[in-house]
C-alpha cells in the first residue's frame, strides 16, 4: 500500500540547512497496524505529514496505492487526503459549534454527498465507536475520550484506505487511553490499515509492528512484533 524509498526532507533555518528526514525507506502493507515511535525532533511528525499528503519530500519518492505522490498537484493531494486518508489528531480538532454527528459529516460534505446519505453514514460511524446516544452532543458536552471517538468516527466516515493517528492518546489519561487503543485494535481487526505516530513506547507496542525513528532516520534493527 505504501512504498517509501530514499526519502529526504530539508528545512532551512537562517543559513543552516537541516535534514529532517534522512534517506527513509519504509514499506507498509494493506491491513497492517504500524506505529512510528520516536522522541520530539526525531522526524516522525515530518514523516507523518508526508505520508498524509500534507507535505512533499525533497528527494526520493512516495508511492501510495500505486500512485507517485511526488508528481501530484496540490488539488490532487487534497483529493487523496479527503478520500484515501482518515486523520486522528491529539487534540481532536472538532468544530466546537457542531455536534458529534455534524463533525463526522464534514469530510463527506466536501465530496458533494447528499445530506441524507451523510447523516446515515455519520450515524453508522458513531455507533461503530460506541457513541450511540451522544450524536447530538457538542464537544464541550463530551469527555476527552468521547471527543476522540468522534474524531475516530470522522476519520472512518469517508471509508479511507489508511487511518493516520498522530498521538491519539496524548491528551488523555491512562484509562481513557487504553479504551481508545482498544478501539484502534478493533478497527484493525476488522481490516483497517492504521499508522500510529507516538512518542510513548507503551502505546507503540500495542501495534503489530513498531518502527523507531531518531535524528531523521529509521533505526536499523528497530522493527519488532508485538510480544517480542
pLDDT in tens, 1-55: 999 999 999 998 888 888 999 999 999 999 999 999 998 889 998 999 999 999 9
Nearest Cα to 48, choosing from 58, 39, 36?
A: 36
Whole-model pTM: value is: 0.89
Residue % of the chain over a pLDDT of 90: 75
Question: Who's near 96: CB < 8 A, 6+ residues apart?
Answer: 138, 139, 140
- Domain 2-225, second-level architecture: 3-Layer(aba) Sandwich (3.40)
- C-alpha 78/C-alpha 100 separation (Å) is 24
> What is the pLDDT at residue 25?
94
Q: Say yes or no to pLDDT of 107 above 90.
A: no
For residue 90, pLDDT beyond 80: yes
Alpha-carbon Rg for the chain in angstroms: 18
User: Cα 31 from chain centroid?
Assistant: 14
Amino acid at each position: 500500500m505504501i512504498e517509501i524509498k530514499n526519502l529526504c526532507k530539508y528545512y532551512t533555518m537562517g543559513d543552516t540547512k537541516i535534514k529532517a528526514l534522512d534517506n527513509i525507506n519504509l514499506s507498509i502493507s494493506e491491513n497492517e497496524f504500524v506505529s512510528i515511535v520516536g522522541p520530539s525532533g526525531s522526524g516522525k511528525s515530518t514523516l507523518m505529514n508526508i505520508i498524509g499528503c500534507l507535505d512533499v519530500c525533497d528527494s526520493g519518492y512516495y508511492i501510495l496505492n500505486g500512485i507517485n505522490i511526488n508528481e501530484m498537484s496540490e488539488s490532487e493531494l487534497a483529493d487523496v487526503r479527503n478520500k484515501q486518508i482518515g486523520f486522528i489528531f491529539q487534540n481532536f480538532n472538532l468544530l466546537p459549534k457542531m455536534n458529534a454527528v455534524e463533525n463526522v459529516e464534514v469530510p463527506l460534505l466536501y465530496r458533494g454527498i447528499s445530506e441524507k446519505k451523510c447523516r446515515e453514514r455519520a450515524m453508522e460511524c458513531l455507533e461503530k465507536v460506541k457513541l450511540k446516544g451522544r450524536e447530538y452532543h457538542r464537544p464541550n458536552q463530551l469527555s476527552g475520550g468521547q471527543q476522540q471517538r468522534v474524531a475516530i468516527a470522522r476519520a472512518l466516515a469517508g471509508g479511507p484506505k489508511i487511518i493516520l493517528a498522530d498521538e491519539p492518546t496524548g491528551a488523555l489519561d491512562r484509562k481513557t487511553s487504553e479504551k481508545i487503543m482498544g478501539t484502534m485494535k478493533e478497527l484493525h481487526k476488522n481490516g483497517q490499515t492504521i499508522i500510529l505516530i507516538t512518542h510513548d513506547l507503551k502505546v507503540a507496542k500495542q501495534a503489530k509492528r513498531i518502527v523507531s525513528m531518531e535524528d531523521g532516520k529509521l533505526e536499523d534493527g528497530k522493527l519488532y512484533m508485538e510480544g517480542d
